[in-house]
Amino acid sequence: MHFLFFIFLFLFSCSGDLPRTPTKTQPEHIAIHFSIDSVSISGNLPKRQKTLSINEAWNGDKGRREWKIPQKPIKNAIVLSTTAIAFMEQLGVLDRIIAVENRNLIYSEKMQRLIDSLNIEEVGSGNTLDIETILMLKPDIVLTFGTGSAVY
């Protein structure tokens, strides 16, 4: 859970400015399952790209996965994990959610009101995920969860 909170805090607080100092960011508490690295990108102007590396996404998973972290602020998100909604509520960014997995699984009264007032879409999950709707919404990010199951 601390891992997800850190990721949301990082992603939703990005200002868009590229970092100029450390090449490796470590949280206050030592993380053993993930790291955030900043690597140089070649091109006309020197740039840095942040990469999130996860060593063990779920119990028993021994693979390493890497994702590029967007360098722009996230304006909208599709959230397929109710846990993420709780973190986003704490960060005060619920209004950035444009679609959710299933509103019946959401216990946040504030989120339920937003779903009604902003006409937030439901896009399903697993083998019922509505990929077409997700693509039409053009989210900046899709927040989901790992289970080890290929269906999810």
Q: What pLDDT, in 10s, does the model give residues 48-104?
A: 788 888 877 666 767 777 877 777 788 999 999 888 888 899 999 999 999 999 888
Q: What pLDDT, in 10s, does the model give residues 5-58?
A: 455 555 555 544 444 454 555 556 666 777 888 877 766 666 778 888 887 766
Determine contact, residues 31/38, Cβ cutoff 8 Å.
Answer: no
Determine contact, residues 79/101, Cβ cutoff 8 Å.
Answer: yes
* The dihedral sign for the CA sequence 13, 18, 21, 22: positive
Determine contact, residues 133/99, Cβ cutoff 8 Å.
Answer: yes
* The dihedral sign for the CA sequence 142, 143, 149, 152: negative
pTM for this prediction: 0.62
| DSSP-assigned letter for residue 103 | G
